[in-house]
Amino acid sequence: MEALLLRDTQHTAIDKELVRFGTGSFIARRSRIDAFLNSSIYRDDSTTIILKENNQDDNLIRLRENFIKELDKFEQDSKELASEIFESSLFYLSKVSPDKIIVEVTDDYNLYYSIIKNDFSIFLEEDLDDREVMVSLFKNDVKQKSLSGNIESVTSRLRDITSY
């Protein structure tokens, strides 16, 4: 889980660890952010701080926040699996560069994404049991050919389709 630490007009700094409130925790994090922002390092996987460009990443931060709320629909033993699948899928979905994206958990406990990209409306459902993805695609409210497969292949095809 991540926590927003700093946002300006160009960048967002997030912490990959849960926020821990306690004596000096904010000051310690603030000094790490300052050091991070003043360095030439854009991302270092050995630190918990990630600096991101604001343009599309705000969508992804909001998506994660929304997913955390939706996670309550799962039973405790399924939450970890759902989180792992969500994070893996998010990696591929971010490559589509959505203008807007939201996630919901269906009554069948699948992940359902609604995505807007240019003139396209994309409705993607990912089955958590077999990782099969079904996509309904519309361009200017006209139904296009549906897609299915794993998240990697589907998002690759979506990138190609929506880039025109």
- Mean pLDDT, residues 5-28: 46
Pick the closest to residue 58 from 131, 115, 7, 130 (CA basis).
7
Between 129 and 53, name the one with better pLDDT.
129
Q: CB neighbours (10 Å) of residue 43?
A: 10
**Token duo for residue 151:** 């998240």
- Whether the full predicted model's pTM is greater than 0.85, yes or no, is no
Output the CA–CA distances (angstroms, integers) from residue 112 to 14, 21, 37, 119, 134, in the order listed: 25, 33, 35, 20, 10
Alpha-carbon gap, residue 139 to 120, rounded angstroms: 4
- Tell me: the pLDDT tens digits for 40-87? 334 444 444 444 444 456 677 788 888 888 888 888 878 888 999 998
Between 21 and 7, name the one with better pLDDT.
7
